[in-house]
């Protein structure tokens, strides 16, 4: 893979990566700053897309159309949807789905986008394998899980809503961008991987936990990203 796009929703999630870039050029498009340069000897474009699925989808399309990236990696934090997935653990996406798509009134199951072949988008096998290997090497103390990531334009901090998500989607964690990045990459036939570090348990404790653990969660994703980019 020649040039890769790396998307984070928030400044905190991409700040360290941006500071590590060499020969950096910055272009502002759609109110987003695209940082193009060399990261770990690899051509990369690092960008903060802003929070939510619309921002993330627009950003992904720009990376593909205007920066010609050959793969898209999304890094950030997420709320755990499984008891065995602890704070600071890493989740690598096998695939993604949007939990807030609801055409049930038309007879579609929740999460299914009407008139699309699929609503579940598969991440790139090679990126998953490489990311797993890098985790074992650079953050061996951290639990690594590979499974479905579900996204919606909602911060999940309610135990009832979490139970609904668990019951309706086979998700490992929940966040607000991954599945829209995945859908955009799928439509353009570009490989992608969503990498999330767990900052909270997506329940009543989520807001407090998020504030406390966001930093350590991001530190782990940066180590993983550095190792992964160096191997591409
Ligand atoms: N990102 C981190 N934690 C989250 C949560 N609980 N819900 C949605 N997005 C998140």
Percent pLDDT > 70 in the chain is 100
- Per-residue pLDDT band at 6 (split at 50, 70, 90): very high
Ligand 1: distance of its center to the CA of 172 in Å? 12
Query: Which residues line the pocket of ligand 1, CB cutoff 6 A?
Result: 77-79, 155-157, 174-176, 199-200, 202, 206, 210
Could you tell me the pTM of the whole model? 0.96
C-alpha dist (Å) from residue 113 to 39, 163, 230 = 36, 22, 36
* pLDDT of 198: 94
Substitution candidate for ligand 1 out of 173, 210, 212, 218 with most atoms within 8 A of CB = 210
Alpha helices of the chain — where are they, by DSSP H? 11-19, 53-67, 125-138, 159-168, 178-187, 206-231
Q: Each residue of 9-37: pLDDT tens digit?
A: 999 889 999 999 999 999 999 999 999 99
Q: Could you identify the atom of ligand 1 that is nearest to the CA of residue 152?
A: 8
Q: Each residue of 191-210: pLDDT tens digit?
A: 999 999 999 999 988 888 88
Residue minimizing CA distance to atom 9 of ligand 1: 175
Q: What is the mean pLDDT of residues 128-156?
A: 97
Q: In this structure, what CATH number is given to the domain that contains residue 63?
A: 3.40.50.1580
Task: Give yes or no for residue 169 having a pLDDT over 90.
Answer: yes
* pLDDT of 117: 95
Give the residue numbers spanning the domain of 14.
3-231
CA distance 62 to 7: 11
Task: Give yes or no for residue 1 having a pLDDT over 80.
Answer: no
Ligand 1: distance of its center to the CA of 210 in Å? 8
Number of domains in the chain: 1
Q: Each residue of 57-115: pLDDT tens digit?
A: 999 999 999 999 999 999 999 999 999 999 999 999 999 999 999 999 999 999 999 99
Q: Is 170 exposed, middle or buried (0-12, 13-18, 19+ CB in 10 A)?
A: middle
- Per-residue pLDDT band at 144 (split at 50, 70, 90): very high
Ligand 1: distance of its center to the CA of 79 in Å? 5
* pLDDT of 13: 86
Four-point Cα dihedral 75, 79, 81, 84, nearest 10: 80
* Cβ pair 153, 177 in contact under 8 A: no
CA distance 131 to 121: 18
Task: Give yes or no for residue 215 having a pLDDT over 90.
Answer: no
| Residues identified as active-site | 13, 200
């Amino acid at each position: 893979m020649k040039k890769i796009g790396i998307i984070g929703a928030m400044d905190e999630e991409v700040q360290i990566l941006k500071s590590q870039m060499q020969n950096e050029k910055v272009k502002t498009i759609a109110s987003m700053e695209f940082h193009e340069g060399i990261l770990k000897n690899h051509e990369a474009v690092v960008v903060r897309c802003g929070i939510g699925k619309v921002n993330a989808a627009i950003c992904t399309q720009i990376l593909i159309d205007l920066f010609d990236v050959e793969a898209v990696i999304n890094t950030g934090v997420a709320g755990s949807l499984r008891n065995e997935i602890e704070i600071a653990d890493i989740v690598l996406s096998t695939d993604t789905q949007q939990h807030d798509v609801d055409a049930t009134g038309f007879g579609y199951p929740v999460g299914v986008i009407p008139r699309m072949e699929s609503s579940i988008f598969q991440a790139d096998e090679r990126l998953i394998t490489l990311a797993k290997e890098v985790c074992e090497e650079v953050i061996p103390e951290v639990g690594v899980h590979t499974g479905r990531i579900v996204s919606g334009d909602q911060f999940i901090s309610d135990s009832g809503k979490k139970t609904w998500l668990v019951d309706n989607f086979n998700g490992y964690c929940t966040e607000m961008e991954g599945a829209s990045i995945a859908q955009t990459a799928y439509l353009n036939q570009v490989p992608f991987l969503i990498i999330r570090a767990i900052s909270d348990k997506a329940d009543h404790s989520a807001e407090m936990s998020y504030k406390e653990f966001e930093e350590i969660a991001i530190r782990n994703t940066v180590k993983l990203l550095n190792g992964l980019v160096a191997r591409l």
